[in-house]
Amino acid sequence: MFASMKKTEQTKKYRVPYGTFELFDADIPFTCQNGENKEVINFHLKMSKKRLLDTLKWLKFEITLDSDIFYLIESKFTAEDYDKLIQQSKTKANFEQFAYELLDILRNTTKNQKKYNVTFYPNEDGAKIIIQKLTDLQIIELLTPTFVKANNSDALTRGNNKIEALKQKLYAKESEIKQFFKEIKKKDAVMYDLYFKKLDI
């Protein structure tokens, strides 16, 4: 019995995780280039990965925009895509290492904005993004992913989730305000009637 329990514990300890995992979730300032117009906009970029046993199957990138809750574009990079890439570039890094190299690049774009430039080129189908590293001698192009619009169902679900989250925040604030007025009324009813009664909700 005890031997069986020990074996089970060891299996759990060394089991390789599988499923979808979030790697990056943050705002990144993009230089939005739309024709001759150029402006810096904070987009929200999320990067996730999917594992099946000990194999990394794909990396997925999603971009959303606070000013448009239903805006959602995405890009997926599979292990097969990476195999084609390494044949061209002759890199020795495996797909897993490549994923964490991408993660480092994304983290650096948020921390060292003077050394990295992210340019966003919107189009009818989605957008193209160019991530560059700025050095004293040259500009190095690191990534050029192409994003496509997510299907309407996914965009609608994501937008509705944002609305629901915003509602919950507003309800929480409403409760705080009600409690605030209640405390004032309890401590000084005259002051409450003079200054706060009209504002009470």
Q: How confident is the model at residue 4, as a pLDDT?
A: 37
Instruction: Give domain limits for the chain.
Output: 19-150, 155-197
Average pLDDT over every residue of 123-146: 89
Q: 181: which 2 tokens?
A: 């007025």
Position 11 pLDDT exceeds 60: no
Higher pLDDT, 50 or 8: 50
44 has pLDDT over 70: yes
Confidence class of residue 201 from pLDDT cuts 50, 70 and 90? low
Q: Is residue 12 pLDDT above 80, yes or no?
A: no
- Per-residue pLDDT, 97: 87
E strand or H helix at 181, and its extent? helix 152-187
Integer Cα distance of 66 and 64 in angstroms: 7
pLDDT at 123 over 50: yes
Split at pLDDT 50, 70, 90, the class of 2 is: very low
**Residue with more model confidence, 199 or 179:** 179
- Amino acid, res. 95: F
- Looking at every residue in the chain, the average pLDDT score rounds to 82
Q: Which residues have a Cβ under 8 Å from the Cβ of 50 and sit 6 or more positions away?
A: 19, 20, 21, 56, 57, 58, 60
What pLDDT is recorded for position 88? 67
Predicted pLDDT of residue 151: 92
CATH of 19-150, one of 3.90.550.10, 2.170.210.20, 3.40.605.10, 1.10.3720.10: 2.170.210.20
Tell me: pLDDT of 5 over 80: no
Q: Is 90 left (phi over 0), alpha (psi -120 to 50) or beta?
A: left
* Average confidence (pLDDT) over 146-165: 92
